[in-house]
Amino acid sequence: MTPEMILLTIAAFVVGLSKGGLSAAGALAVPMLSIWMDPLQAAAALLPIYIASDMVAVAIYRKQPSWPNLRILVPASLAGVALATLAAPHVPMAAVTLLTGVIGLTFVVQTLLLPPATAPRHARVGPGIAWGLVTGVTSFISHNGAPPFTAYLLPQKLPNLAFAGTATITFAIINLSKLPAYHEIGLTGGLDLPVLAPLIAVAVAGAFAGRWLVGRLPQRVYSAVIRAMLALVSAYLCVTATIALL
């Protein structure tokens, strides 16, 4: 197996874990592949894997999402995808990546320095639209919608399954909307379906592994795991984007 296939296989499993409920894990996949390909090309290569594992994850979590949040986040994130489709040819990808990392790190630092809220927040239209737009844009560029999504949803202290279900359905809809968008800017021509087929199977296995973990982690541990993954991914995005911009 070539080094490229090893990276693709690991990335596919990580994508599956994210669809199984460890949402921040998915942000690791594109940076891994960006070691040897353009970030937007990496995002396009992974899109069929995301969509296939989305189908499994939606079947797993279809009864668990927070519907008030979905009604806010889905339209806003689709608007973000449309905005990114228009802006992608003109905006430096490194700048968007840096913004994504800064959002994630800011949220993590706030949770560490500020006293914890005594009561969970509720779904709010204004912040939901703002974070949904950013989620759509950053997800389009590099499948890194988890930092803004998490910054909006985690303070609501939803049960593990409700958080995972909301993330699963939101990103499943976002990923489907990317197909025509990626085609429009010429990113879907080089997809190799025979190579993708076994990777999709790996991603599906990762989705079931993620669901198994989510069902067994206590609420506090689950939130801590999400924050830790978010911090690592966000720091990596900031470093790589800063290097690219220098």
> Crossing angle of helices 193-214/160-184, nearest 10°?
160
Alpha carbon distances (Å) from 215 to 59, 88, 125: 15, 38, 29
Mean pLDDT by 10 residues, the chain (246 residues): 78 82 69 65 77 86 89 96 84 77 80 65 89 90 79 87 90 90 69 73 87 79 77 83 87
Cβ proximity of 204 and 57 under 8 Å: no
Locate tokens 């966000």: which residue? 234
* Amino acid 22: pLDDT: 74
pLDDT at 8: 80
Considering its fold, how many domains does the chain have in total?
1
How many whole angstroms separate alpha carbon 236 and alpha carbon 240?
6
Q: Where are the alpha helices (DSSP H) in 62-186?
A: 67-87, 93-113, 125-142, 146-153, 160-184
Distance CA 18, CA 23 (A): 4
* pLDDT at site 72: 96
In the numeric block, which tokens belong to residue 72? 């806010």
DSSP string, 31-46: HHHTTTS-HHHHHHHH
15 membership: H or E segment, kind and range: helix 3-19
CB atoms within 10 A of CB 103: 23
Closest CA to 175 of 51, 33, 21: 51
Residues 104/237, Cβ–Cβ less than 8 Å: yes
Where residue 53 falls (left for φ over 0; alpha for ψ -120 to 50; beta otherwise) is alpha
Q: In this structure, how many other beta carbons lie within 10 angstroms of the beta carbon of residue 203?
A: 32
Rounded distance between C-alpha atoms, residue 39 and residue 237, angstroms = 12
The token pair that represents 55 in the structure block: 């189908």
CA 225 to chain centre: 15
Q: What is the pLDDT of residue 66?
A: 92
For residue 227, the enclosing domain spans: 3-245
